[in-house]
Amino acid sequence: MKQVLTALCPALLLLRCWPEGFTTTRGFGNEVSRAAGNLRRRQVQLSAEAEAEGSTTGGDPGLTEEEVKILLQGAAMGDAESQVLIGRMALEGNIAEPDPEQAAEWFLKAAEQGDKDGQFNLGMLLISGNGVPQDMQEGSMWLEKAAEQGVHEAQYFYAATNLQDGFDGDSDKAMKYMRSAAENGIADAQYALGMILLQTQDLEWAAHWLNQAAQKGDSRAQYQIARMFLYGAGLEQDEATAAQWASAAANSGLQDAQYLMGTMLLSGQGVEQNMAWAAHWFEQAALQGHVDAQYNLGLMLESGDGVPEDKEKAAYWLEKAASQGDDEAAKTREEVRGAQA
């Protein structure tokens, strides 16, 4: 059964990191191994720094000109690991300007030798269409090959691709790989599997997988778990725990969670009622375009509940909500304008 899943994240931000202990072992000696090792360690360092800063970056891999030359020689002579490394460097612009087409060529050479990292990276590049012609079918094929070799990220992306509406894929195999990726700790897979189970009303298992993803910091899962605790769906109702999860997701910037947090503060569900903080979260969600938050914020500004009364700002937010088709907001906006006239 086809399920509509969250859109794939940009592939360039999700290319697989090199495994710990990565070395070149097929006849090119210690020089290539050192070059590969230096790049791997630099990539790990950059990934850690980027995660700490909340960003992603390719950056300078820290290789000398001689080490790059050695890797290029290894790649040209058919060493798959060197080919993947050079492909990564071409993709990220570590040698010259980013060249996705050249990267795809190197990934293909490695993939055709059965290298799982080459297969994964090529599959992601083809699915994203980032700098190369998009080819979902071929991308899915390469992801499946990497998935068969136990690359759990590939299992997730293969599943996500094949479960999309409009994609002629293998739903049964996709679900098998989605579950495998979830069982092996891939948070995106845990969230996706939880949402699939939620839609099929298997609430207990949906809660299990959403909780796994929420514990890893997935704000979407945190929001869904908050709702399940709030309404007692698949979990024993617990408004205080719901508020904790909603707060975590809201602080991560998820607009639906910000709106939910606003409503809970407005009504005192799971938290002490606080109109000012309710208005704060409505505003955060409203700024991201959440229509109900815009409407509620407009009402609070119009009446002065929790915030200083401000008819002009009230009309502004009501207009924002009305422009998204909220009839009640349009009606209230006209009433506010009439009172101002």
pLDDT in tens, 253-293: 999 999 999 999 999 999 999 999 999 999 999 999 999 99
Residue (of 339, 336, 324) closest to 294 by Cα position: 324
Whole-number percent of the chain with pLDDT over 70 = 80
Token representation of residue 232: 């007692």
Band (32; pLDDT cuts 50, 70, 90):
low
Q: Give the number of other CB atoms < 10 A from CB of residue 201.
A: 9
The residue extents of the domains of the chain are 11-181
CA distances from 268 to 132, 264, 273, 330 (A): 52, 6, 4, 28
3-class state of residue 255 by DSSP: helix
pLDDT at residue number 58: 46
Q: One-letter amino acid identity for 109?
A: K
Between 74 and 43, residue with greater pLDDT: 74
Residue 207's pLDDT is: 97
pLDDT tens digits, residue range 209-223?
Answer: 999 999 999 999 999
CA distance 156 to 187: 10
Residue 291 phi, psi dihedral angles, 5° rounding: -65, -40
pLDDT surpassing 80 at residue 19: no
Q: What is the pLDDT of residues 138-190, one digit of tens each?
A: 999 999 999 999 999 999 999 999 998 888 889 999 999 999 999 999 999 99
Q: How confident is the model at residue 26 (pLDDT cuts 50, 70, 90)?
A: very low
Structure tokens at 261: 């947090």
List all residues 6 or more positions away from 86 whose beta carbon is below 8 Å from its beta carbon.
71, 72, 75, 106
Q: Top-level CATH class of 11-181?
A: mainly alpha
Q: What is the pLDDT of residue 34?
A: 57
Between residues 65 and 179, the one the model is more confident about: 179
Residue 138 and residue 111: Cα distance in Å, rounded? 12
Residue-wise pLDDT tens digits, 94-104: 878 999 999 99
Q: What global pTM score does this model have?
A: 0.80
3-state class (DSSP) for residue 78: coil
d(CA 206, CA 195): 7
Q: What is the mean pLDDT of the chain?
A: 85
Chain centre distance of CA 185: 15
